[in-house]
Chain A
């Protein structure tokens, strides 16, 4: 009994100290590690927190919403200063986010948005998928400079929002440029092997010499397609220009060899802008806008792709 009282007294004595310290404690509920990009996002988030001296509590939900809800409840119970949430689905968050709001803990959404009233979260940090497609399309418009160019397109998984939006953005960018035409478009399911298989069929159905450029909705499909182009005896990057989205390490490796031409980055650093906004809010109450758009940076052959590859390859992609 005496021991217990002592322990409580001891524990209590730490409370004012931690409260006074400027250190923030932030909970991060991550979806899981279903893709290389997701793993990189986790790595970068941990790095960003460490850089700022933030105590990050990390919870991996293994693709289950119930695990994310449990994690948020436990963050609320622990009285964290803020919560980062990468939501696995769009619906079903109202109750748990109300609990966080009642405890006055700001919530920032990473990478995806949710269907919930605006006042349940402080801000959402996401990339604009349509804009990514536009950057890719604009690059090709500039690159071809009016010369006739027949394009083949490798779409993402049919019906997925990245596939729909990246297609839409690209089409918007090339609209009004009569020299640019999409002659074939088929899904490669975001995977390397389907990217290769579908590119093989494009090369035969259209004829390799008639294809001027390939637009792939992600880098992995482009990496597969590069191999198909090589096996057909053509030079990827020269005979067929290749532009894709995501900026994973392997596409930079291909670009360093001149086998791909451009990629648009889907940055894994969603936490940087989120933590900036949180720190400003907690310091002087600055309310950030409801949506913080991350930069969709274009990388071309003019960048030092080998250096980018070396930098990115250990992020867990």
Chain B
């Protein structure tokens, strides 16, 4: 058990260091960054905002990590968010309870995910093309559901999922933490995670070894659709309305970036959901720096790009190797040689 925790810690160490660094930058631009208060029945502070606002990306990257581990990619998650939000809003506006609306939205997400899975696993369409279909068409479907307007609702149960709190903690935080831990537990306590990695490393040989890759691939896309639907419901509930044009717009790219910052290879194989979740928090912390710094919005994307480039460069294999060599060559210098070097100028 202890060994297991140590391995995990070593795996996520780079992400933890980067997150600490980005949070420190936040602290530098805004000294009150770490202050958390309890007011009006909810925790209130910038750190809470990072956890709360990072919820959609965090939820997306849970599914995305599994998809990418099978050497796939899911570009449709942003559009699926819009569809799920629209379905949930339409159901409560029609007078259904929030439970029915949530269930309906999750089913819609699962159906979208299964559609992607079938295109990839059964029809053998390349994942980037297969999911592009729904990425483009999905927003249109969502607009059909909302009839082109921002569909607003006042159902307190549904709103609670996005804007409410449980014991003072915003609900979205509990949802992504809960789902992240549950999925991690399921894939790591069973052989499922290893089977998914096997498909990503070599699908043909994993199938020859008896893994039902078709069902597994459909399942990971289905999970991705499910996660996207949950994110879509949270985003809609947060603003009490389903905005088919803007909900989840470009969020698929943030989700993929979170997985990459989490140190997972886009070529599939070994994966860590926890590292991806840290990646999502890193992205949200970068957004937080931009908002708190008070710099003109023209610089937003430049700042974000510079920080992300720095993070990716630090993680690149070449730089990692160079750092390793540097450390290895720095360590074994015997004390005498330093003395010698000091004396030599005389």
Q: Which A residues form the contact surface with B (CB < 8 A)?
A: 33-36, 39, 155, 158-159, 184-187, 189, 191-193, 196-198, 200-201, 204-205, 220, 223-224, 227, 231-233, 250, 316-317
Contact = CB atoms under 8 A, between A and B. Distances in A.
Contact of A205 (B30, B238, B241): B30
B122 interface: no
Contacts of B149: 36, 39, 316-317
Interface string B117-148: 00000000000000000000000000000001
Given A198-B291, A201-B288, A224 B239 contact: yes
B297 A158 contact: yes
B245 interface: yes
How would you classify the secondary structure of chain B's contact residues: helix, strand, loop or mixed?
mixed
Given A35-B245, A205-B30, A233-B39, A192 B150 contact: yes
A184 B300 CA distance: 14
B147 to A, nearest CB: 8
Contact of B150 (A36, A158, A227): A36
Contact of A201 (B247, B291, B296): B291
A317 B147 CA distance: 10
Given A186-B291, A192-B243, A200 B296 contact: no
A22 to B, nearest CB: 35
A191 B294 contact: no
B294 A233 contact: no
Nearest to A34: B245
Contacts of A204: 32, 45-46, 49, 292
Given A192-B150, A204-B49, A316-B149, A227 B292 contact: no
Contact of B148 (A39, A232, A233): A39
A184 B49 contact: no
A220 B239 CA distance: 10
Contacts of A198: 291
A205 B31 CA distance: 10
Given A33-B148, A201-B292, 9 more contacts: A189-B246, A191-B243, A192-B246, A193-B246, A200-B53, A205-B30, A224-B239, A227-B240, A316-B149
B311 interface: no
B291 A185 contact: no
B150 A220 contact: yes
A186 B294 CA distance: 7
Contact of B49 (A33, A34, A158, A201): A201
Nearest to B296: A185
A34 B244 CA distance: 10
A158 B300 CA distance: 9
